[in-house]
Amino acid sequence: MKLAEFNRTLRQLVAVPILLLVLMAAFLLGEIVATQRAEEALDHSDRITAHLQELQNLIIDQETGLRGFQLTRDPAMLAPWQAAAGPIQLEFASLHQLLAGNAQQRASLTDLQDRYNQWLIFADAILAGNRAALADPQLNQHGKSMMDGIRATTGTMLHREASLRTAEYEHARQLRRRELVSLLLSVLVVGLILALFTRHHLRAVSASYLRRIAEITSKSEELFESRQWFQTTLESIGDAVIACDMRSAVSFMNAVAENLTGWKLDDARGHALEDVFRIVNEETRQPAESPVEKVRRLRHATGLANHTMLLARDGREFIIDDSAAPILSGSGEMIGVVLVFRDVTEERRLQAALVASEKLAVAGRLAATIAHEIHNPLDSVANLHYLIGEEDDALKRNEYLRLAQQELGRTMQISRTMLSLYREPKAPISIDLRELIEGVLLLLDRRIRHQGIQLETAIDGVLVVEGFPAELRQVFTNVIGNAIEAAGPKGSIRIRLEHAEAAEFHGAGAVVEVVDNGPGIPKDIAPRLFQPFFTTKGAHGTGLGLWVSMGIVQKHGGAIRIGNSDYPGLPGACIRVFLPARTLAQEAQPVA
């Protein structure tokens, strides 16, 4: 049973009994009202009977007083007459009001009041003291007949009212009995309905509850098995794993993490991540930013900064590469952070060795070129020296001397360029990119002239950047050398240097663009160009040139991009190297 269905069932279990109780209460209220009306009818009938009897008694009192006065002529005997006169009128008025809903009784009351009024006329004649009237037996008999009519009418009304009361009493008794029966039946019916309804729904809820318990039990077992799977997986993987909560308290470490940090899980659990996972900058030895704080700020997976070193508990040091990612709850709330890192110390040693090997390979390739470049000027100097010794003309000797000095200057420039490959400053210095590119072209001049390549350069003013000149010279030697090979004999190369404005993701700097008219870069090869040991030159290439070049450019805070050119007449490859005017690069430290 889903939550919505469960809530609906609960609402029904509450609403249906309330509705049934309301209906039962309404039904019983109707029965009670009917019974109360029947009892009110009984009370009404009793009041009518009481008023009729009181009226009859008052009239009798008047008759008694009149007879006493008639026999004794004593006015004191008229006291009952006088006392009953006013109440009799009140009783008639009350009875008219009480009998408003009974036409038959109201007609009898009117007849009774008429008879009473006629009797009052008879009584007034006697009260007037008329001796003839007092002594007239017929008149007295007539008065007696009128009083008997009054008594008969009153009796009829009392009898009729008694019959009505009996009927009302029986009706009220039946209503009370029906009320009791209705109460019992409604209680039984409502109780039965509630019992069946509740039983049905409780069975459904109980069945759902049992199913839910079974599902929870099954999921708990699956969760336990899944936890064991993940625990075993995390323990078995080659990378170190550390998990912590939002308070940076360590909650899990696998065996690799224990080995690298020097902490056992039982000791590290509950400790701050900064105590267990101590990381510093490899070069400055300054504490690095906490991965938890970085993930908490960015709220997505992120990697550590370059040159991060882990300081183990036992004093060992490891250069590491890692990433940190948020742990999210089902509602998307971040509840922790997981770190995955590995020891790259040996990898860094290998990379340093590869970079050194590539530098040596570059130097070796240049050595042959430089040997040829130096040999030709030295031959010229030797010839000029011979000519100077044999020449007597002072003007020609001066000209030969000038040419010899020019060739020696060229030789010295080539040797200085070669030496700068290994005389690297300890910190970044300002570099005139124009001079650096011209020095590279000087080293490659013989190759360019030998293949008959048409070289075009375009430089946008003075472009100065910070960096390590030997490393950047290696980058551009590699890039321009690749362009020479791609262009081939009688090919064309265009080198353009321009200023780069500050953008969203980088500051101001310079861009060096090298374009050739070679075959370009196939789409299937482009994604692999910067992978180590990937080469399109077969046995003549190491596959490290572009990989090392990208590392050097990234170290300077720049970027390198390779694509196909859209320049007219130069349909080959186009490589763009961006170098920032200010760099954060520092002298590379040897890996122990």
Same domain, yes or no: 277 and 322: yes
Q: Which of 485, 508, 504, 507 is nearest to 573 (CA)?
A: 485
SS3 308: strand
Listed in sequence order, the residues at least 6 apart from 196 whose beta carbon sits closer than 8 Å to its beta carbon are none
Q: Is residue 528 part of a domain?
A: yes
Same domain, yes or no: 337 and 361: no
Same domain, yes or no: 328 and 434: no
Q: Is residue 224 part of a domain?
A: no
Q: Is residue 233 part of a domain?
A: no
Q: What is the CATH number of the domain that holds 301?
A: 3.30.450.20
Same domain, yes or no: 73 and 129: yes
> Amino acid identity of 540?
H
Same domain, yes or no: 97 and 154: yes
Q: Which of the residues in the chain have pLDDT under 70?
A: 1-3, 6, 13, 129-137, 227-228, 230-231, 233-236, 303-307, 351-377, 379-380, 383-384, 386, 407, 410, 413-426, 504-505, 533-534, 536-544, 584-592
The pLDDT value given to residue 514 = 93
Q: Which of 79, 156, 75 is nearest to 115 (CA)?
A: 156
Q: Which of 357, 362, 583 is nearest to 480 (CA)?
A: 362
The pLDDT value given to residue 592 = 37
**CB-based contacts of 170-174 (< 8 A; 24+ apart in sequence):** 171/38, 171/41, 172/35, 172/38, 172/39, 172/41, 172/42
Domain span at 90: 3-208
Same domain, yes or no: 430 and 550: yes
Q: What is the CATH number of the domain that holds 540?
A: 3.30.565.10
The pLDDT value given to residue 515 = 93
Q: Which residue, of 343, 359, 375, is where some domain finishes?
A: 343
DSSP state of 427: S
Same domain, yes or no: 423 and 312: no
* Residue 87 CB neighbour total at 10 angstroms: 15
Q: Is residue 200 part of a domain?
A: yes
Q: Which residue, of 290, 309, 343, is where some domain finishes?
A: 343
> Amino acid identity of 286?
Q
The pLDDT value given to residue 353 = 66
Report the distance separating Cα 63 and Cα 50, nearest Å.
20
Query: 77: buried, middle or exposed (CB in 10 Å: 19+, 13-18, 0-12)?
Result: middle
Task: Kindly list the strands in the beta sheet with 492-500, ordered across the sheet, starting from the edge strand earlier in the chain.
Answer: 454-459, 492-500, 509-516, 573-580, 559-564
> Amino acid identity of 357?
S
240 with 260: CB under 8 angstroms? Answer: yes
Q: How many domains does the chain have?
A: 3
Question: Roughly how many angstroms between the first and final C-alpha of the chain, as a whole number?
Answer: 64
Q: Is residue 215 part of a domain?
A: no
* Residue 80 CB neighbour total at 10 angstroms: 18
Q: Is residue 363 part of a domain?
A: yes
